[in-house]
Structure 1
């Protein structure tokens, strides 16, 4: 089940407002250009910010996500229906094989069990043409991002058009490495409603990620820094073998 922050009917429409400017997405457009990818799969596309940007360049784009509420927001950004939106896991994608699959943000870290991560990699490999690439980011565990989250006040109030003033609070609720859990709490000031969303991320180290990719038919060609978070994340560029 996707977290409420993506799946709840009141939270998905305000996700972008609190997420802020996605200056991390430009790097992925550049990678798509670098790899010459015309057919792209956005795995865990959420509210569709990256998929819409990719489609605007003339590419054929498929966005897949298990949260229908987020896909509703994504469709609203795509009135010309240039993106094929798929509700479900990556294994639900039946479109022609793509040249590039992407996972941005925390998508690669939401798969907590090895079985779930392996099933996702298998689904991505099936969706890719031979020689196609998988590119994704993941937080470096040695950077210990959760310590910043613990000391950050993480209290924000925004006045969102069509919604009104909404307060967001974030707190770390559990640390049992490699798992870190946290909670977002939203208070809608127009009616006083309070909605919470609990999330857990798994922090895999570089060797663990590379081993899992090799075990599921990928060869890692490069591991880069995330331009918007230098020293904090790995960006893996892997190619489908066979």
Structure 2
């Protein structure tokens, strides 16, 4: 089940506003150009911000996400129906022959068990063409991002056109490495409704990620810094080996 922050209709509707300016997506658009990727698969596409950018650049795009509420937002942005939207996870991706598959944000870290991560990598492998590429980011465990989250737990209030004033609070609820759990609490001040969303991420180190890729039919071509968050994340550029 996807987290409420993506699956609850009221939270999906305000997700983009709280997510802020997605400067990180420009790097993925650049990588798509670098790899001459005409067909791109966006795994965990959420509300479709990257998928729309990719389609605007003339590419054929498929967005896959298990949260129907987020997909409804994504579809509403795709007014001309250019993008194929799939409700589901990476294990059930239809044949697509992608030149490139991407996982942005925290998507690669939501797979908590080795089995879930393996099934995801294999599902993406099947959706790529021969020698197609997989690019994704993960937070560096040694940077201990959860400590920064805990120190910035004060409320953020946004005044939104359709929802009115909405307050968001973040609380780190458990650190049992490699797993870190946290809770978002949203208060819709117009009617007093309170909606919470609990999430857990797995922090894998570089060697673990590289070993998992090699074991599931990929060759790591490069491990880069995230340009918008230098020193905080790894960006893996891998290629299907067959």
TM-score, with structure 2 as normaliser:
0.99
**Matched position secondary structure for 1:13:** helix
Across the two proteins, how many residue pairs are aligned to each other? 242
CA displacement at 1:160 relative to structure 2: 0.8
Equivalent residue, structure 1, for 2:105: 105
**Matched position secondary structure for 1:80:** coil
Distance 1:123 1:153, change over 3 A: same
Q: Is the 8 A contact 2:95 2:126 kept in 1?
A: no
Equivalent residue, structure 2, for 1:127: 127
Q: Give the distance between the partners of 1:160 and 1:92, measured in 2 at CA.
A: 35
Equivalent residue, structure 2, for 1:222: 222
Q: Is the 8 A contact 1:86 1:92 kept in 2?
A: no
Q: Is the 8 A contact 1:154 1:171 kept in 2?
A: no
Equivalent residue, structure 2, for 1:148: 148
Where does the alignment leave 5 or more consecutive residues of structure 2 unmatched?
none
Q: Is the 8 A contact 2:93 2:124 kept in 1?
A: no
Q: Give the distance between the partners of 2:120 and 2:154, measured in 1 at CA.
A: 31
TM-score, with structure 1 as normaliser:
0.99
Where does the alignment leave 5 or more consecutive residues of structure 1 unmatched?
none
Distance 1:193 1:139, change over 3 A: same
Moved over 2 A (4+): none
Q: Give the distance between the partners of 1:92 and 1:225, measured in 2 at CA.
A: 30
CA displacement at 1:94 relative to structure 2: 1.4
Q: Is the 8 A contact 1:220 1:239 kept in 2?
A: yes
